[in-house]
Amino acid sequence: MARKSSGSPRFDDTHTVVEAVNLALARALDDDPQVVVFGEDVGVNGGVFRATLDLQTRFGPTRVLDTPLAEALIAGMAVGMAAQGLRPVAEIQFAGFAYACIDQMLNHAARLRYRTRGRLSCPMVLRTICGGGIHAPEHHSESPEAMFAHIPGLRVVVPSTPARAYGLLLAAIRDPDPVVFLEPTRIYRLFRQAVKDDGTSLPLDTCFVEREGDDLTLVSWGAALVEVRAAAEALAQQGIESTVIDVATLKPLDMATIVDSVGHTGRCLIVHEAPLSGGVGAEIAAQIGEHALLHLLAPVTRVTGHDTPMPLARLEHAYLPSAMRIEQAAHALLRFE
């Protein structure tokens, strides 16, 4: 297998989320000869959003592979490679096409350690983009995190910033068990952030507390945090201080951090882009009810997408949680008696 040096680490460069994903993949390929990247158009074209740009040139076609347009095959290849000691990172172009991978992910990837009584593990990452807001056609804007989070044996991770995309993806690739890594398309190039390309991973299964306040707790993940941060800032201008929590790893949930915050503020607003019913927000709300009920000053509330397919471009704004909807829900929580 070809292996080329990535050169000296770049410090304090600013990057977008998609550039941070590219950096993490390059770092993983450079550090570990067992890492293999593959998917539709990831090689010559560098991926549909250029997340794998130049990786095939740097690491060769045996480590960065183009595959047929066949999602079930891609997931199956990843399971087989992982079972034989490689660390495959498979890309599915859009989350709406990842449904074809469910058989391989549910019946094989997630169960391999259990089925072999620990003799084999499945250190694979299934990467795909998710979410709306880019005026894409049907099946290109899905938010299927709850579906994957429901499968025992899978870890589900959603980054919300370039630095977290870099650090969490490295952690996912190094994890001994299968990880579904959902990259929100809407924030792929929305903003830049300093990313230290030094190979340092961030902890999985841990929430990130972005700001702390006494009045209410805002819980979210992925692209929806853009609106949550804006709402928290608007509320702060009105003298209302919020704790903002980026869940980041949706399975397993770091409920200790969330419960601790709700125990302090007494109010919790959960924001996610996925449909309301059966979402990860419902699981968080249920666990708050189990572990922090006596601390609540108001019902746990959700601001989410709707129980419909993501609409086409003209109505996307009506589907996605807006900063105004979040702010209004926060005020309703604060008024509750």
CA-to-CA distance for 28 and 99, rounded, in angstroms? 27
CA-to-CA distance for 90 and 178, rounded, in angstroms? 11
H/E stretch holding 82: helix 71-83
Q: Let me know: does 141 contact 134? Beta carbons within 8 Å.
A: yes
Q: Let me know: does 125 contact 155? Beta carbons within 8 Å.
A: no
Helices and strands counted in the chain (H then E): 12, 14
CA-to-CA distance for 58 and 28, rounded, in angstroms? 13
Looking from the CA of 39 toward its CB, the CA atoms found within 13 Å total 28
**Long-range pairs of 319-324 with CB within 8 A, sequence gap ≥ 24:** 319/132, 320/132, 320/133, 320/224, 320/227, 320/273, 321/224, 321/227, 321/271, 321/272, 321/273, 322/227, 323/227, 323/228, 323/230, 323/231, 323/234, 324/231
**Nearest to 216, CA basis, from 198, 238, 200:** 238
Phi, psi of 64 (to 5 degrees): -130, 100
CA-to-CA distance for 35 and 203, rounded, in angstroms? 20
Residue type for position 79: V
Q: Which residues are catalytic?
A: 140
Q: Let me know: does 201 contact 55? Beta carbons within 8 Å.
A: no
